[in-house]
């Protein structure tokens, strides 16, 4: 198979972890006789520094032309500490999602058995948890009108959803539920928020097309509690952009660490595959970032964008084997991990490559 993959490392540890993700794709190409060609593009702080623009047109064009994008993360402390900055790295990320029509963000939350001890949740509650989140990605409060009034003393962000936007993400989630445990939980705040009432109405309507799927509706506050209390009760979860952003970070603790969680953003055109974590400036340049989320994002890329299921499983198995051999990065190590088994970004990447 011949494919063009665009590598978009972005900022901070994004650079370090996508380098490992790319090596894994290379290894898969070599092993299975595929021909993957690569290009790189700038986004975020790195793009602002080079061009003044968090998503230059050239990067966007490259994204649109490629068969899939392996993305890192954006963000820089300079902007986090300066809310008045007009040009921000995250604008590049939001524009990429909007321009590529990436309305569905898939986040599989699955705990590798070896990491049962790495989570702050009790192992007996966690074991067997396997959740697939569908976070809507191009609507909600993130993309509505925002601004200040009263001389800047009042701020507003408008949350907005159309029937069409809810329907298409709901359908994707129902389709996925049909291939899994046939259970779908739709999360909203329909007791208070009008966009949530439309959300629930549309999900109930779409549910009629999938009579085999058992549907439940939960409020977001209750879901936050249930994810920790009983994560095994969930199969597929579908929710709006803001709720999904928060709940999936919470759910990352089910998988042991943010460094283990991959995501796929899909829609009308090129798919973008990225870890759920950010640019993690507290550990940037130290060579300790966990690259597994990027490696598992590469596995999602192979599966979803290229239909290469076996290759994708091969990558997931290699990660599993590395964990079984006892190797850890600092974020997933615990007090029982021997010092010589705690590896840095590149060294654990090499262990994954060896097993491929």
| 75/267 with CB nearer ligand NAD | 75
Is 142 one of the catalytic residues?
yes
Q: In the set 279, 297, 305, 312, which binds ligand NAD (CB under 6 A)?
A: 279
Residue 188 lies near ligand NAD (rule: CB under 6 A): no
User: Where does this chain touch ligand NAD (CB under 6 A) — which range of 71-79, 103-111, 187-195, 299-307?
Assistant: 71-79
User: Where does this chain touch ligand NAD (CB under 6 A) — which range of 72-80, 132-140, 164-172, 174-182?
Assistant: 72-80
**Minimum distance of ligand NAD from residue 148's CB (angstroms):** 21
Is 334 one of the catalytic residues?
no
**Minimum distance of ligand NAD from residue 294's CB (angstroms):** 8
**Minimum distance of ligand NAD from residue 283's CB (angstroms):** 4
What's the DSSP call for residue 328?
B
Place of tokens 């200040």: 148
| 75/139 with CB nearer ligand NAD | 75
Spatial CA neighbour of 27 closest among 349, 271, 249: 349
Q: In the set 259, 267, 271, 349, which binds ligand NAD (CB under 6 A)?
A: 259
Q: In the set 206, 283, 298, 316, which binds ligand NAD (CB under 6 A)?
A: 283
Q: How far apart are CA 305 and CA 342, in angstroms?
A: 33
β-bridge partners, 273: 70, 264
CA atoms lying within 13 Å on the CB side of residue 173: 36
Task: Give the tokens for residue 5.
Answer: 């993959």
β-bridge partners, 216: 185
Spatial CA neighbour of 40 closest among 70, 3, 13, 74: 70
Residue 289 lies near ligand NAD (rule: CB under 6 A): yes
Burial of 230 (0-12, 13-18, 19+ CB in 10 A): exposed
Torsion 44-46-47-48 (CA) sign: positive
In the region spanning residues 77 to 96, those forming contacts with ligand NAD, defined by CB under 6 A, are 80, 90, 93
Q: How far apart are CA 102 and CA 117, in angstroms?
A: 35
Q: In the set 237, 277, 303, 323, which binds ligand NAD (CB under 6 A)?
A: 277
Is 182 one of the catalytic residues?
no
In the region spanning residues 10 to 49, those forming contacts with ligand NAD, defined by CB under 6 A, are 13, 17
């Amino acid at each position: 198979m011949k494919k063009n993959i665009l590598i978009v490392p972005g900022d901070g540890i994004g650079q370090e972890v996508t380098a490992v993700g790319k090596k894994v794709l290379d290894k898969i190409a070599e092993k299975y006789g595929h021909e993957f060609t690569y290009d790189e593009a700038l986004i975020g702080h790195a793009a602002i520094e080079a061009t003044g623009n968090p998503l230059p047109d050239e990067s966007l064009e490259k994204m649109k032309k490629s068969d899939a994008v392996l993305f890192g993360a954006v963000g820089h402390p300079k902007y986090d500490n300066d809310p008045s900055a007009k040009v921000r790295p995250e604008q590049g990320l939001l524009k990429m999602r909007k321009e590529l029509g990436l309305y569905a963000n898939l986040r599989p939350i699955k705990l590798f058995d070896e990491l049962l001890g790495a989570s702050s949740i009790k192992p007996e509650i966690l074991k067997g948890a396997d959740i697939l989140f569908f976070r809507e990605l191009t609507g909600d409060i993130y993309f509505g009108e925002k601004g200040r009034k009263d001389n800047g003393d009042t701020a507003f962000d408008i949350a907005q959803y159309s029937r069409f936007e809810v329907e298409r993400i709901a359908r994707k989630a129902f389709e996925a539920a049909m291939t899994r445990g046939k259970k779908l939980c739709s999360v909203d705040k329909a007791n208070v928020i009008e966009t949530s009432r439309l959300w629930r109405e549309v999900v109930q309507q779409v549910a009629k097309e999938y009579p085999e799927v058992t549907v439940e509706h939960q409020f977001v506050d209750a879901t936050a509690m249930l994810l920790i209390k009983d994560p095994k009760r969930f199969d597929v979860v579908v929710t709006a952009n803001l709720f999904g952003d928060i709940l999936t970070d919470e759910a990352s603790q089910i998988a042991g660490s943010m460094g283990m969680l991959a995501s796929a953003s899909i829609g009308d055109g090129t798919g973008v595959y990225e870890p759920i974590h950010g640019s993690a400036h507290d550990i940037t340049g130290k060579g300790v970032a966990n690259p597994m989320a990027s490696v598992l994002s590469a596995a999602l890329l192979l599966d979803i964008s290229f239909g290469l299921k076996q290759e994708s499983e091969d990558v997931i198995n290699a990660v599993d084997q590395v964990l079984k051999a006892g190797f850890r990065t600092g974020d997933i190590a615990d007090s029982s991990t021997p010092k010589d088994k705690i590896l840095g970004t590149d060294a654990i990447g090499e262990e994954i490559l060896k097993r491929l």
